[in-house]
Amino acid sequence: MPGERKFKLRRLDETRWEIPMVGGMRVPGLIFSDSSLLPDIEKDNSCEQVYNVAHMPGIVSNSIALPDIHWGYGFPIGGVAAFDLDQGVVSPGGVGYDINCGVRLATTGLAREDVIPRIKDLVDSLYSAIPSGLGSTGKIRLNRKALSEVVLSGAGWAIKQGMGDGSDLEHIEDHGRVTGAESKSISDRAFERGKDQLGTLGSGNHFVEIGFIDEIFESEVAESWGLFPGQVTLMIHSGSRGFGYQVCDEFLARMIKNMAKEKIELPDRQLACTRINSPQGKEYLSAMAGAANFAFANRQILMNLAKEVWERSMGLSPRELRLHLLYDVSHNIAKIEDHIVNGKQVKLCVHRKGATRALPPFHPLLPQRYLKSGQPVLIPGDMGRCSFILVGAEGAMSQTFGSACHGAGRVLSRNEALKRTKGRFIEQELQDHNIYARSAGRKTMREEFPEAYKDVSSVVEVVHKAGLARKVACIKPMGVIKG
């Protein structure tokens, strides 16, 4: 529970609340929420974390939280902060332990009625083929030299190995490869942890989900993206596994020790950071880029695994399945980007921790396919309700450095979720709602039961009303594999 606060929230409008500058804050805090979501946001210390981040050197405009905000390490999950390159800092806590945890969504040529009779067999086959759970390992085992190629090439490495099509790269943020990665910045321990984890799902809230498009909100955008009512989809949520965790953990430890030398004083040691242009800052960014590329390769491999299993399980040819990548987005990342601040274009280091980039139409970083519409923004919900496809809007550039929410956001801790579900059989509850689910353990299903999360429809509605991204389609789950 939060302690006594040093600030009071001030309502700005229907979707925004401000933490006015007090004490050592360098910028105000800006929280996107409506009245219905605010009580859950105020239950934990995430608002205090927004306040703490506002103290960091070189922060620009606001310390921002999106409506899926909840407590995290240092920065809140659902937080965005941008820093000036000259005086600003980079912080591993502003990226997170699971570097480039993200979501990819693929569409199929199948309709819901084609899959519903076979959903149990399909999910069982996917569960058998895709390693999941804590510490899970896969069939791909690489030495340091080969893994260094993954670090440098990202999703392109997997495609060169025959796992996907070259056109996929046009549908991945940063074309599936963050520039600036250097394998020499990454420790032997990180390489050791990552050597057999490509093509694995991981644990916790990571998932593979078979769903269908239940509702379309913007028919013109949906049609241009090839979406139709009842269309079956594949959504994958995973990241950089133990490889990225190790990168984050090691740099956090080093930066905590180095803070005094740089004369950086902050209200929370979990905000450990270093100047962006310092040798250590540059080293972290290059290691983080490498872990991000590992994650891009991992999701590319997972999608290819799912495609192969799906075709075998249902006896479909590639032409019949027509599995095509719509988009792949990062959730946990720090990037050097161009933004307009006070009427001037400047380069900033934008931290998105549990936040999705949401580029509007005609943004220069968009691939040709999405230039007129804007970027697909993928917002997964819990495994019992729904997920959303949105499209980036201009309001994101003026308010959140081109960012939107990344999901529903937890409302219960894992321990609280276990208490609430004592004696319950979550798999059967989901099946009663025509959702077939598998996981590495009953404990995971209880920790991830739907009510552990905010209602993603409410979260997305705030983002939509605030003009950060617009609703395009809603997806309902049919089958889920949980880590």
Please list the active-site residues: 406
- Look up residue 63 and give its two tokens: 């310390």
Burial of 249 (0-12, 13-18, 19+ CB in 10 A): middle
Strand pairing report for 436-439 and 469-482? parallel
Q: How far is CA 464 from CA 102, 168, 204, 392, in A?
A: 21, 28, 28, 10
Q: Cα dist. 398→267, 304, 340, 359, 401 in Å?
A: 28, 37, 8, 11, 7
Best CA proximity match to 422, nearest among 453, 447, 439: 447
Positive or negative torsion for Cα 380, 428, 416, 461: positive
Neighbours of 21 (CB within 10 A): 14
365 vs 145, 171, 362, 371, 469, CA distance in Å? 31, 12, 8, 9, 17
Instruction: Classify residue 170 by its DSSP letter.
Output: G
Listing from the earlier edge strand, what are the strands of the sheet with 10-11? 10-11, 16-19, 29-32, 63-70, 77-84, 344-353, 332-341
| 260 vs 270: CA distance, rounded Å | 14
List Cβ neighbours of 194 (8 Å cut-off, separation of 6 or more).
147, 240, 241, 242, 243, 246, 294
**Do 327 and 378 form a contact (C-beta atoms < 8 A)?**
yes
Closest CA to 481 of 453, 443, 444, 450: 444
| Spatial contact of 339 and 350, defined as CB atoms under 8 Å apart | yes
Count the Cβ atoms, other than its own, within 10 Å of residue 240: 33
Residues 6+ away with beta carbon under 8 Å from 79: 49, 50, 53, 63, 64, 65, 66, 69, 72, 94, 351, 353, 354, 355
Phi, psi values for residue 308, rounded to 5°:
-65, -45
Residue where the block lists tokens 């180095």: 258
The CA-based dihedral angle spanning residues 113, 217, 64, 204, taken in that order and rounded to the nearest 10 degrees = 0
How far is it, in rounded angstroms, from Cα 321 to Cα 108? 6
Q: How far apart are CA 23 and CA 277, in angstroms?
A: 27
> Would you give the distance in Å from CA 66 to the centre of its chain?
13
